[in-house]
Amino acid sequence: MDIHALIKPLLQKNDSKIVMYVGDGLGGLPQQPGGKTELEAASTPNLDKLAAEGVSGSSIPVAPGISPGSGPGHLGLFGFDPVEYLIGRGALEATGIGFELKEGDVAIRANFCTLDADGNIADRRAGRIPSEESFKVVEKLAAGISIPGTEVFVKPVKEHRFVVVFRGAGLVGNVADTDPQATGVPPLPAVARDDASQKTAKICDEFIAQAKKILADEPKANCCTLRGITGKPSIPTYEEVYGLKAAAIAVYPMYKGLAQLVGMDIIGDAQTIDEQMEVLKANWDKYDFFFIHFKYTDSTGEDGNFDAKVKRTEEYDSAVPKIMELGPDVVIATGDHSTPSMLASHSWHPVPTLLWAKNCRTDACQTFGEAECLHGGLGQFEAKHLMTLALANAGRLAKFGA
């Protein structure tokens, strides 16, 4: 069933405000059987209040048992089937730094790496080279690369990460990564996954060959690997499918990029959650929908640091009153996936989710946590249906049928 086709004739305008507040990787696991998860161990009085007044459940980002990346996880939250709409990491990174992709472009998320004397990778991230150093290397690379018949853009992102975009005739981005995900071995050759991508694969190999020569004297970043090689995705916008003027308030480029690809305006340049709340308040009257992204519940989980994730979860909770004082009609608090610190990685576990609205049907949940959400009125549901619930609770969907 095409949910977008179903709801499009039902959309109706009003003055309601919807806030989707995403704690990246919010879901977790207890450190021992019967214990508390990071969310349950945290002091979250503000989220607990919303849970008591709203309705809770557990969202499934992609499908049961599937551990999603951040891209598919967020696409699900935004109401797009992440299996149908595949967006490569290269496109996310490029859009996130403000690069405007054109039809036919191939975008790549590249990593600087360190090669040893034998040409094997000694460090996949070039010692996490600081941005102030890596930006100079990016400039050197951008000035030196020349591939006949192809326009090449090389742009910095952060630390060891940078973006490469190829522009030219006949380019298709279905090419495998050149990062072997291991040290002690050389970078992989670029391998086309279909005949249409053969030209792009050859250009990728040529880019790396030139990069090795240009960067040969660099102490850390003396080569690079290419990842997330992809073309510009074709995806409808929030205005088209939901009739919403939408804005995103995020710190990291990738999440800005993903939001921009679904038609959200990127507003502000906040670097902290307090600054994000200031941006929200300053733009409250200009938009119908706000996506607010909080990264650090994910990064602490990936670090395997239970206590740090608890503290970051409490920081996530602390901003809730600043959202509520603006008078939203619908507030959703959830994550794009679970990142249990016990696993130090993204996982397949359903994500705690709460929906607060002025007219929602409440349930018996009094706190916000994994165990309580299992008993919540939303049940377990696919995350792609969350936007439909938000629209309904905001009074933005008319009746279906006679």
Domains detected in the chain: 3-87+235-393 (3.40.720.10), 92-231 (3.30.70)
- Three-state DSSP class for 150? strand
Query: CA–CA separation, 336 vs 14, rounded Å?
Result: 28
> How much is the mean pLDDT over the chain?
95
Strands 55-60, 379-382: pairing is parallel
Among residues 236, 241, 233, the alpha carbon closest in space to that of 390 is found at 241
pLDDT at 1 over 80: no
- Dump pLDDT digits (tens) for 229-267: 999 888 899 999 999 999 999 998 889 988 988 999 999
pLDDT confidence of 82, banded at 50, 70, 90? very high
Query: CA–CA separation, 148 vs 386, rounded Å?
Result: 47
Q: Are 195 and 178 in contact (CB under 8 A)?
A: no
- Dump pLDDT digits (tens) for 146-198: 999 999 999 999 899 999 999 999 999 999 999 998 999 999 999 999 999 99
Lowest mean pLDDT among 93-97, 220-224, 313-317, 382-386: 93-97
pLDDT confidence of 144, banded at 50, 70, 90? very high
Q: Which residue has the tokens 């994550």?
A: 335
Q: What is the chain's percent helix, strand, coil content, to nearest 5?
A: 35, 20, 45
Dihedral pair phi/psi, residue 269, rounded to 5°? -135, 45
pTM passes above 0.75: yes
DSSP letters, 10-73, are GB---S--EEEEEETTBB---SSTT---HHHHS--HHHHHHHHHSEEEEEESSSTT----HHHH
Compute CA distances 70 → 22, 192, 205, 257, 402, whole Å.
11, 24, 28, 12, 40
- Dump pLDDT digits (tens) for 371-382: 999 999 999 999
Q: Which helix (H) or strand (E) holds 288?
A: none
pLDDT confidence of 391, banded at 50, 70, 90? very high
Q: Are 188 and 119 in contact (CB under 8 A)?
A: no
